[in-house]
């Protein structure tokens, strides 16, 4: 038995102008569970309606142009939807959402989360010094202290999120967590979640392509990798561009294994095609 999941940061900026493009992708992918980030309650509900899915969980906040929250959509029935408010020192709103999905007789805990961002996140993907700092090695002398603070804040948010998911997982056969984590594959936060027993789909499944979700060619990326053309390293093995990197992940626990994983959302013609977001989406087929 398999379950197909899709996670996608859909970019809050001008989100509704790209809603039809996103809905077309979701319709063609046919996911059983969708984990969204940077959406709103109204836009998540509209996507669910247009694609034949159900809106399972989303924070109860005002739906306006600047709303940026995670949401969980499912094809099957669900129970125990929950919103997890994540800590932030400036009291900005970061959330995780979760529900238990009833999929072909299995009870699957599914969760979507968006952890604190890092200003100029591209440096984590392209700059050797910043990548070292993300791993907990010495910070570059000229680095903004906000970078190190953001790593610590994400560790706090991750601890809160994983504790809440542990408390809500009673009676589930498998557990899935995905989203825009805003950390890199060799960072301290990544090691914390893997150390807590979660499996990274990129490492467990046959990966189709590099797995990068932020591309040099995507014009919607405001903190565009182009300023970092002088850096000569790539975070993603197999990437066609040394500037591509990822901040998005799928993790799993329990009686589940990742069958295959791939990214979606890059138009055939990167110069003239329509991009649904500044991030690519990640699809994972899991075996239950």
For the chain, the domains span 2-287
- Mean pLDDT, all residues of the chain: 86
Residue range 172-200: mean pLDDT, rounded: 92
CATH topology (fold) of 2-287? Deoxyribonuclease I; Chain A (3.60.10)
More confident residue, 109 or 269: 109
Contacts of 161 (CB under 8 A, 6+ apart): 84, 86, 96, 111, 113, 115, 177
**Within 10 A of 71 (CB to CB), how many other CB atoms are there?**
27
- Which range, 66-75, 176-185, 228-237, 244-253, is most confident? 66-75
167 φ, ψ (degrees, to nearest 5) = -70, -25
Q: What is the pLDDT of residue 128?
A: 66
234 φ, ψ (degrees, to nearest 5) = -130, 140
Residue range 38-58: mean pLDDT, rounded: 98
Q: What is the pLDDT of residue 140?
A: 63
For residue range 121-151, list pLDDT tens digits in order.
666 666 666 667 777 776 666 666 777 788 8
Statement: residue 49 has pLDDT above 70: yes
Compute CA distances 60 → 77, 119, 148, 286, whole Å: 20, 27, 31, 30
What is the C-alpha to C-alpha distance for residues 209 and 185, in angstroms, rounded to an integer? 16
pTM of the model: 0.90
What is the C-alpha to C-alpha distance for residues 193 and 199, in angstroms, rounded to an integer? 8
78 φ, ψ (degrees, to nearest 5) = -145, 165
Q: What is the pLDDT of residue 126?
A: 62
Nearest residue to 192 (alpha-carbon basis) of 155, 150, 149, 139:
155
What is the C-alpha to C-alpha distance for residues 219 and 27, in angstroms, rounded to an integer? 24
What is the C-alpha to C-alpha distance for residues 254 and 16, in angstroms, rounded to an integer? 37
Q: What is the pLDDT of residue 138?
A: 67
Q: What is the pLDDT of residue 184?
A: 77
Helix (H, G, I), strand (E, B) or coil at 134: helix
Could you tell me the pLDDT band of residue 210, with boundaries at 50, 70 and 90? low
Q: What is the pLDDT of residue 139?
A: 65
Could you tell me the pLDDT band of residue 240, with boundaries at 50, 70 and 90? very low
Tokens for 210?
A: 């590099």
């Amino acid at each position: 038995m398999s379950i197909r999941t899709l996670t996608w940061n859909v970019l809050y900026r001008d989100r509704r102008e790209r809603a039809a493009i996103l809905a077309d992708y979701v319709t063609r992918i046919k996911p059983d569970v969708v984990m969204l980030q940077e959406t709103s309650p109204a836009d998540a509900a509209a996507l669910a309606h247009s694609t034949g899915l159900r809106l399972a969980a989303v924070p109860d906040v005002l739906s306006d142009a600047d709303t940026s929250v995670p949401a969980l959509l499912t094809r099957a029935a669900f129970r125990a939807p929950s919103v997890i408010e994540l800590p932030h020192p400036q009291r900005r709103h970061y959330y995780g959402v979760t529900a238990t999905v009833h999929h072909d007789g299995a009870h699957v805990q599914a969760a979507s989360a968006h952890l604190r961002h890092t200003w100029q996140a591209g440096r984590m993907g392209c700059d050797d010094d910043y990548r070292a700092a993300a791993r907990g090695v010495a910070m570059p002398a000229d680095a903004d202290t906000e970078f190190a603070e953001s790593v610590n804040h994400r560790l706090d948010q991750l601890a809160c999120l994983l504790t809440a998911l542990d408390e809500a997982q009673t009676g589930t056969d498998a557990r899935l967590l995905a989203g825009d984590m805003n950390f890199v594959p060799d960072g301290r936060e990544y090691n914390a979640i893997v150390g807590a027993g979660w499996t990274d789909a990129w490492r467990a499944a046959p990966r189709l392509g590099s797995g990068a979700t932020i591309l040099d060619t995507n014009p919607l990326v405001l903190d565009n990798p182009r300023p970092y053309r002088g850096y000569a390293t790539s975070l993603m093995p197999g990437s066609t561009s040394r500037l591509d990197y990822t901040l998005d992940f799928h993790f799993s626990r329990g009686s589940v294994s990742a069958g295959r994983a791939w990214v979606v959302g890059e138009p055939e013609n990167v110069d003239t095609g329509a991009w649904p977001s500044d991030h690519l989406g990640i699809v994972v087929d899991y075996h239950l």
